[in-house]
Amino acid sequence: MAEKPRSGRPPKLPPAHYEQLRALVLAHPDATLPEHAARLAAAIGVSLSPSHLSRLLARLGLRLKKRV
C-alpha cells in the first residue's frame, strides 16, 4: 500500500530548519520567547508567534533556561 498525501497546511518552519533553531536557542538560553522569535525571523526569515515557538521548542525537547 502506498501512503496517501497528507492533508492540511505544511509546517511554517520546515524540519530542515530545526537545527538552526536549536543552535539559536542554545546560543542564547536566557532569552525570552519573543526574543527567540525575532532572532529566528532575522536568521531564517520565518516569523513565528511566541506561543507557536513555545510548542515547537517543547516538541524538540528544548527548555528555556532563565538566569537566576
Write down the pTM of the prediction: 0.79
Could you give the number of structural domains in the chain? Answer: 1
In a domain, 33, yes or no: yes
In a domain, 4, yes or no: no
> How much of the chain exceeds pLDDT 70, in percent?
94
Task: Give dist(CA 37, CA 23) in Å, integer.
Answer: 13
What pLDDT band is residue 34 in, cutting at 50, 70 and 90?
very high
Segment 49-58 mean pLDDT: 94
Question: What ranges in the chain are assigned the alpha helix state H?
Answer: 18-27, 33-44, 50-60
Residue where the block lists cell 524538540: 60
Task: Write the CA distances from 15 to 1, 20, 21, 22, 67, integer angstroms.
Answer: 26, 10, 10, 11, 29
Please give the residue range of the domain that contains residue 44: 17-60
Say yes or no to pLDDT of 23 above 90. yes
What pLDDT band is residue 60 in, cutting at 50, 70 and 90?
very high
Task: Give dist(CA 17, CA 7) in Å, integer.
Answer: 22
In a domain, 10, yes or no: no
Segment 6-35 mean pLDDT: 90
